[in-house]
Structure 1
Amino acid sequence: MARRTRHMLSDYLTLRRRSSLPVWADIAWRVLFVLGLIGTAVAVHWFDRNGLQDSYDGDVSFLDVIYFTMISITTTGYGDIAPVTERARMFDALVVTPIRIFVVLIFVGTAYNFVLKRTWDNWRMKLIQGNLHDHIVIAGFGTSGKEAVQELIARGTNPEDIVVIDPYDEALAAAEQLGCAVINGDATRDVVLLDVKISRARSMIVSAGRDDTSILIVLTARHLAYHLPISVSVKAADNELLARQAGATTVINPVSFAGLLLAGSCEGAKISDYLSDLASATGRVKLVQREVEQDEVGMAMNDVVKDGLGVRIYRGNDVYGFWEPQVQKLEEKDVIVEIIPGNGAPAESDEEKAATS
């Protein structure tokens, strides 16, 4: 992955909105503003032409005024035409000099915005794209998307391996602070997902804030990357089936999950506490899954789970719990779900390690 670049946010914040002007109109008003400044200087020089002296022929024509104005604004002048009265000199010092500065800044700013910055951004984007392999794409960096990124990082995922798509600059700035690559765009569009190299991604998390938008993102991603594991968050239970039909591998309903925690708390506060612990990498325990290795085929699940507790296996579309006979003989491509110590678990002492060995 490309080296991570962290951006420090300024303490000075301003209310801003993206310009609705097209590029040509943005350039046009800058050109008109420059012409207006130059026209003002030409007009004043023409009406005060008696304050100018032409060392060539002694006569200051309108073309001489235009010539003098232009070289005064763009250069320091050649000396063939010069202001000789105090009023003309003060006008050049107090008006023409600021106009010269404004014109230079406008041209430099235009060149930066429409040439240098775009060229630099395109080069950086190509560099990052070239290094995007086996990454995780996050579509939507709202509350759920941000929590997902923070949890991924807590579980050991390198922030450089995370790409965030969001249409809001504030959300992208927060994602950049975490070290993620970001792109301002609409994840329902093919071109945006192609820009983040969706076909080379490891997985995708969709949390757009609206069920219809999230399902459309899943549809778009699925037709671009048929193999990609996609997890999506939906709020309405009726939309869970639609999300799966759109191609989502995993559908999460945060409202339903919150209901499970609330119901569990009625049976005892420790139950909901343990469920929350399982869901977080910072807890004392966490859930993980892995495929059965070749040398584990034919063995019992409890015999191959060394550092934790095996709770179930997935065999194709079937699910078997730890109490069922199918887990006593593992097969190829079985997926084991285990409970292992989390990041918040106390470290094992030397005596405990020796006793275990």
Structure 2
Amino acid sequence: MIHLPVPTRGPLRALGVRLFTAVALVLGVVAVVYLDRGGYRDVNGDGITLLDCFYYAVVSLSTTGYGDITPMSEDARLVNILVVTPARVLFLIILVGTTLEVLTEQYRTNARLTRWRKHLKDHVIVCGYGTKGRSAVAALRENGFDIKRIVVVESERGAVRQATADGLVTLEGSATRSSILADAHIKDAKAVIIATDTDEASVLVTLTARQITAGKVRIIAAAREAENAPLLKQSGAHQVIVSSATAGRLLGLSTSAPPLIDVVEDLLTPGRGMALALRSAERAEVGKSPRKVSELVIAIVRHGRVMSLASPECATIETGDLLVYVRDDSPATIDTQPARDHA
């Protein structure tokens, strides 16, 4: 099931409001008729009871009108003109309006779903919306990735509601099923982020994604244990992030070199001061040393391989190189970053 983010109130609440209004109209007409019950005539001639008032209100508002109870006095007829008739019209509007709204909402939802499928391309699929999945989505949004191009696949109902509330298109189901990933248009995706709760699930999702895409879509998977990283790569993951190993290294650095933790947090937290960024080498920079570029370049990505500046191969910049550099990410300079930045 595909959940599109909708900023309106739920259908049950809308129906509840209409039902409450309809009941209030009936009770209002009953009260008016009962107060002036002497002005009404019953064909039985035994007077108008409270039950008769309910009967008259219901058949009048629903336009059934059997005619067995009729207003006789001028006051009763005036009340029918000024109160019962407008209430009847409003009652019909509520009934017809509810039906039309349900049909319109169904049409609107189908139209939005068709439009979404038509324009879905170069998107990122996030499998799992737990702590890791939410952090991955937050990082994408902080780096300017369009939220409309993020699709979440989640089987847990609470996480589905959370993702939808966050404005994300969410597919409810297991990412290990090829049909679910096909509904997410995985073949047209830019990347797949696998952030499931267990390494076993990550392996299954990776195998399924690789089988559908034939390795043409980049797959990034998270692993709890380092021993499972090779298995994920053999399953088709292009990159594996080991959460336990990363956390352990940071804990070790916090003991031996505490300031390095602050630097790492600064680099990973947007808007704090420094941030890692990636951009293509410009034509004027080809043939130059990366150390002479205006930014602080710390690595070069060449033919998909990350190389340190200490390597002799990185003495000069070549055509097609990607430069990894540290940029100023303080709030005062975020809006002035050049459009060439990739991250």
Q: Do the two structures share a fold, i.e. TM-score over 0.5?
A: yes
How many percent of aligned residue pairs carry the same amino acid? 27
List runs of 5+ in structure 2 lacking aligned partners.
13-58, 70-94, 335-343
Label 1:311 to 1:9 Cα distance change in 2 as closer, same or farther (>3 A): farther
Amino acid in the other structure paired with 1:296: E
Question: Is the contact made by 1:7 and 1:176 (CA closer than 8 Å) also made in structure 2?
Answer: no
Deviation at 1:282, TM superposition (A): 3.2
Amino acid in the other structure paired with 2:138: Q
Q: For residues 44-92 of structure 1, give each alpha carbon's deviation from its aligned partner in whole angstroms, at most 9, with x where no partner exists.
A: xxxxxxxxxxxxxxxxxxxxxxxxxxxx9xx876959x99xxxxxxxxx
Tell me which residue corresponds to 1:169. 157
Residue correspondence of structure 1 range 127-142 to structure 2 within 5 A: 127-142=115-130
Residue correspondence of structure 1 range 72-83 to structure 2 within 5 A: none
Deviation at 1:231, TM superposition (A): 1.1
Q: For residues 273-309 of structure 1, give each alpha carbon's deviation from its aligned partner in whole angstroms, at most 9, with x where no partner exists.
A: 1112212223311112234344433222123x423x1
In 1: Cα distance, 2:131 partner to 2:9 partner: 20
Label 1:7 to 1:169 Cα distance change in 2 as closer, same or farther (>3 A): farther
In 2: Cα distance, 1:299 partner to 1:218 partner: 40
Picking from 291, 297, 302, the partner of 1:315 is 302
Residue correspondence of structure 1 range 74-223 to structure 2 within 5 A: 121-223=109-211
Question: Is the contact made by 1:278 and 1:287 (CA closer than 8 Å) also made in structure 2?
Answer: yes
Tell me which residue corresponds to 1:7. 7
Tell me which residue corresponds to 2:323. 336
Amino acid in the other structure paired with 1:334: D
Tell me which residue corresponds to 2:235. 246
In 2: Cα distance, 1:311 partner to 1:144 partner: 27
Deviation at 1:334, TM superposition (A): 2.9
List runs of 5+ in structure 1 lacking aligned partners.
13-71, 84-104, 349-357
Tell me which residue corresponds to 2:24. none
Label 1:121 to 1:318 Cα distance change in 2 as closer, same or farther (>3 A): closer
Question: Is the contact made by 1:159 and 1:178 (CA closer than 8 Å) also made in structure 2?
Answer: no
In 2: Cα distance, 1:289 partner to 1:208 partner: 27
Amino acid in the other structure paired with 1:133: K
Tell me which residue corresponds to 2:50. none
Matched position secondary structure for 1:252: strand
In 2: Cα distance, 1:331 partner to 1:157 partner: 28
Amino acid in the other structure paired with 2:178: D
Question: Is the contact made by 1:8 and 1:177 (CA closer than 8 Å) also made in structure 2?
Answer: no
Tell me which residue corresponds to 1:229. 218
In 1: Cα distance, 2:169 partner to 2:134 partner: 13
Question: Is the contact made by 1:218 and 1:243 (CA closer than 8 Å) also made in structure 2?
Answer: yes
Question: Is the contact made by 2:225 and 2:245 (CA closer than 8 Å) also made in structure 1?
Answer: no
1:270 matches 2:256: no
Residue correspondence of structure 1 range 296-311 to structure 2 within 5 A: 296-303=285-292, 305-307=293-295, 309-311=296-298
In 2: Cα distance, 1:327 partner to 1:147 partner: 33
Question: Is the contact made by 1:139 and 1:165 (CA closer than 8 Å) also made in structure 2?
Answer: yes
In 2: Cα distance, 1:281 partner to 1:149 partner: 14
Label 1:221 to 1:318 Cα distance change in 2 as closer, same or farther (>3 A): closer
Tell me which residue corresponds to 1:41. none
Tell me which residue corresponds to 1:67. none
Label 1:265 to 1:227 Cα distance change in 2 as closer, same or farther (>3 A): same
In 1: Cα distance, 2:259 partner to 2:9 partner: 41
**TM-score (normalised: structure 2):** 0.65
In 2: Cα distance, 1:79 partner to 1:319 partner: 85
Question: Is the contact made by 1:154 and 1:282 (CA closer than 8 Å) also made in structure 2?
Answer: no
Deviation at 1:155, TM superposition (A): 1.6
Q: After superposing the two structures, state which structure 1 stretch, 312-321 or 168-177, moved more.
A: 312-321
Matched position secondary structure for 1:251: strand
In 2: Cα distance, 1:328 partner to 1:124 partner: 52
In 2: Cα distance, 1:234 partner to 1:158 partner: 26
Label 1:199 to 1:7 Cα distance change in 2 as closer, same or farther (>3 A): same
Matched position secondary structure for 2:313: helix
Q: For residues 19-53 of structure 1, give each alpha carbon's deviation from its aligned partner in whole angstroms, at most 9, with x where no partner exists.
A: xxxxxxxxxxxxxxxxxxxxxxxxxxxxxxxxxxx
Tell me which residue corresponds to 1:258. 247
Matched position secondary structure for 1:282: coil
